[in-house]
Amino acid sequence: MQAFTGFSTLYAGIGGFHVGDMLVQLFCFIILLALLKKFAWGPIMGMMQKREEYVSNEIELAEQNRAEAERASKEAAEQLRQTKEEAQKIVEDAKHIGVKQEQEIIESARKEADRIKVSAQEEIRNEKERAIQALQDKVASLSVLIASKVIEKEISAEDQEKLINEYIQEVGEER
């Protein structure tokens, strides 16, 4: 036993190694490593795995958001372009409608002026005919008066009417 005791204490007198203590410490260290692996390393690795998945998901989500933002930006640009085209078309249509209305107003004014001109000409013609008729009546009565003074005889109403009608026909033919 002394050999074992001697073996277990190598150079113990001068600060040597105790093999028994070393084996106990090695055994405790191995148990500690096993416990750490089971209770500490596993949960830490699980947390690290979850963190890695979370970061990976966040990166994917950010990439999806970026792609969606680009798509939304393109859609907005397309809608803006379409809106500008529609606005331009509305302006052009309004110009065409304005030109058309202008032409319609001018044509309407021209027709109204022509109608007024024709109406005025008709009125002038009517007034002219009335004036001629009045003049003929006056000339007829003056002619009868002069003729009766020249002939110095009285003319009956029938003869007077006959003379007036003949004179009116002569005046009408000269016109």
Token pair for 1: 């036993």
The dihedral sign for the CA sequence 157, 158, 163, 169 = positive
CB of 7 within 8 A of CB of 19? Answer: yes
CB of 175 within 8 A of CB of 129? Answer: no
Long-range contact list for 43-46, CB < 8 A, 24+ apart?
none
Q: What is the pLDDT along the chain (175 residues), one digit of tens a residue?
A: 444 444 455 555 555 677 888 899 999 999 999 998 888 888 888 889 999 999 999 999 999 999 999 999 999 999 999 999 999 999 999 999 999 999 999 999 999 999 999 999 999 999 988 888 888 777 777 776 666 666 655 667 787 788 778 877 776 666 5
pLDDT at 46: 87
pLDDT at 2: 47
pLDDT at 173: 67
d(CA 144, CA 159): 10
Name the H helices within 17-156: 19-35, 42-151
CB of 28 within 8 A of CB of 17? Answer: no
Q: Would you give the DSSP letter of residue 17?
A: E
pLDDT at 15: 57
pLDDT at 3: 47
- What's the whole-model pTM score? 0.39
Q: Counting every residue, how long is the chain?
A: 175
Token pair for 156: 């009956």
* Amino acid (1-letter code) at residue 46: G
Token pair for 89: 């078309």
